[in-house]
């Protein structure tokens, strides 16, 4: 499912484009912004950047699952 579906268009290099952003990626981006803004960080000793990304996608997956219900 796309977050921002749009009409297809042909770019200058003759490639189709304009399909839109995946809804899961959109949800993950919003979750990541919230974690950073609120100062939510993973446990010490973890790679913080990768942990925040993982938390964001776990949240996005939960949001996608909630949409199915």
Identify the band that residue 2 occupies on the pLDDT scale cut at 50, 70 and 90.
confident
Q: Per-residue pLDDT for 56 more than 70? A: yes
Which pLDDT score, from 0 to 100, does residue 51 have?
86
Nearest to 17 by CA among 29, 9, 27, 25: 9
Does the pTM exceed 0.75?
Answer: no
- The values of phi and psi at residue 2, to 5°, are -100, 145
Taking the domains of the chain in order of start, what are their residue ranges?
Answer: 22-68
Name residue, tokens 């399909």: 19
């Amino acid at each position: 499912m796309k977050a921002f579906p749009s009409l297809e268009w042909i770019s200058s290099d003759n490639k189709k484009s304009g399909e839109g952003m995946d809804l899961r990626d959109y949800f993950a981006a919003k979750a990541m912004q919230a974690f950073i803004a609120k100062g939510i960080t993973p446990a010490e000793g973890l790679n913080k950047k990768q942990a925040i990304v993982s938390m964001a996608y776990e949240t996005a997956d939960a949001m996608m699952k909630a949409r199915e219900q």
